[in-house]
Chains A and B, each alone.
Chain A
Amino acid sequence: MYLTLENITKIFPARGGVGEVTAVYNVNLDIEKGELITLLGPSGCGKTTTLRMIAGFEFPTEGQIVLDGNEINMLPPHRRDMSMVFQSYAIFPHLDVFENIAYGLNVQRLPKAVIQERVNRVLDLVQLQGYGDRAPTQLSGGQQQRVALARALIMEPKVLLMDEPLSNLDAKLREEMRFEIRRIQKELNITSVYVTHDQIEAMTLSDRIVVMNNGIIEQVGTPVEMYRFPNSRFVANFIGRANFVHGITQKQSGQNLVVKVFDEVIELLNIQRDFREHESVNLIIRPEMIRINKTGELFSGIIRRGVYLGDVIEYDVEVNGQLLTCVESDPYVMELFPNGEQVTVGFAEGCIQVLPEEENN
């Protein structure tokens, strides 16, 4: 393991001085060399605090941070061999692009020629050739973003930290920069920790995603694992959308589980957990796992809302008194079911995951 967080807890004194706030609680994380890991979660979940502890701006109240075999808990940021891309870019406003990028090398007092050469190389990498003498104010948001990235990359850091680097860009540019960052990260094989609250960003960029909530890690896994096999209701809801349907287990044999749902019995495939018989469970049914047809499906339902969105049609359909959100993505379908229409509803049994009821938080 290249970078390890062991039982990291961070407690801040509460604002106003009375009491304490636990920002991060008992976080364990192993990051491999060359891997890009995303910390994903809603605001206040502790992802930025975790990143700032890795950077050295905060020190853990408990636990250890180990980089390349050395404990770095109390090492100040400037001696950690990491670099960081900030949400606000934090470009030095009084220096031009070249001086901004060369800043870290100047701190190390490298010879002028070396600095010149390395800055030019990294300007090429982020496609800003010829922008060296521009003032930061003369750059667009995307260009400033590239300068911030270049300034971090030129240090050839052991770990590259990125704190919501794309959140100040407009949607189209953000998409472009996502691929750009991923390309450069792969090209340099640079170990990276990326903080974001945008699940699409996390899905696009990451080797692995860490979902955090209320200061703890909810789940760690590859984008596919996170979407297909969420461990908790929170993760299922945070990455993609999900309907939660109550069921009672009947019988499990290997990965096949028979569940009673809406008074009908269905058999689910690819189930990752073991369940007892007659256990109360929640089925995670994503909108695209629901089929709606006029006739022929197992359950009967009533259309309550239908919206044509272009690429898909989105319905709220009422089954046994519960509203389920589902999408129809067949490009040939152009007619919507009217509200109040009686339909039949079916589930993609091979994709549905099941969570025990008590994890109902």
Chain B
Amino acid sequence: MLPEARLNAFGRSGCRPLDGVRVLDMTTAVAGPVATTLLGALGAEVVRIETPWGKPRNPSSALPLLVEGPDEPWNREPRQNELAHSKRSVALNLTTDGGREVFLDLVERADVVLENYSPRVMGNFGLEWDVLRRRNPRIIHVSMPAFGNAGPWRDRISYGPGIDAMSGMSWLTGYVDGSPLKPGNFYCDQNAGLSAALSAIAALMARGRVGGQTVELAMLEGELQLIGEAMVGQQLSGREPTRIGNEHSSAAPHGVYPSAPILDAPDSWIAIACRDDDEWEALLGVWREEAVVCDPRFRTGLRRWRHRAVLDRLLCEWTPRFDPIELSERLQDAGVPASPVMGARSLLRDEQVLARQSVGGLEHPQLGLSPAPQAAFRLSETPAPPKNAAPLFAVDTLPVLREILEYSEERIAELLESGAASDRLQER
């Protein structure tokens, strides 16, 4: 049985790795925001530049207003809540001279500009590399185009799932007898976001030697690293790699099997992986199915693999009798890698997730405690969990203009009046 879902608020970290670093976040969709949430959690002050009309926000799917406050659905959009934590929010209209000048003033006081537009967009804003560099020779400009800033596909457009297709990842993912599938919802984006955060820090580390520089992370080239093994293998063997679903290339049983429901979900499963004779013997110690133990088809690893379809069928008859959590514990105790097929609901109740605070809570002014996953590493001296919930729209416009840019009240009033900057959502 799983306990109730729990969310423990992330603690404050005294010292984070990127304290003192300022990032201007011009990202959209998923990949770029993943990079900047990571940098924010690591301690950078991430100033998210939003359009005054809040284009990326989609109020139609707003989460329920849980605490007293104004009903501003654009501040409770789940994707925004997921991808803007650990940041500040400033609204600038970069198509105006005033908004562009504010941005360039921020560039002078920043360390990193990170964007994931298609290659022509920064030029359309008049914010290409030479312009940024003239204002701040130490600035690092991270761009994340889909296909790269040069090459025949430079001006093609795509989101992450389209890159999955172009990289070979979708072609390789799927059931043995099925069509290509996506490797996840936004897998390419998550990978590119991690790589961009890593690259930004690498460039910061090199800054003392070389000053500012551009960092180009083509999402496609980032994802091709993940299937390089298949590409090299294809050249060595002369065979096109194929979809193998959950199977192992040489070991069995190795699959996902139905189980008794958890959390009242009929869609419940357990993953079991036997990679060698020891793990097979350990499985038999729990399974105790005489017909299986004595079956010569399963006597060696090679035979088990050849007869994996039979093994899978037999396991599918056995595993539904068990709660997948209890069966996983029994199998683990015996020495078999096994796990319930978790989901977001069960992870919020999982003892390991709770112990490591893999997912913790951030206090949002309109939602109350809001969940966020933290990165998969724990630093002993400079812990870096997510630090603040997604900011309300444009809540930091005035503080940034005053405190970072030290603009006069007159100038701020002019910027607001002209629409170059905004401290609230505007009609377009």
Partners in one complex: no
Interface, chain B (partner A; CB < 8 A): none
Interface, chain A (partner B; CB < 8 A): none
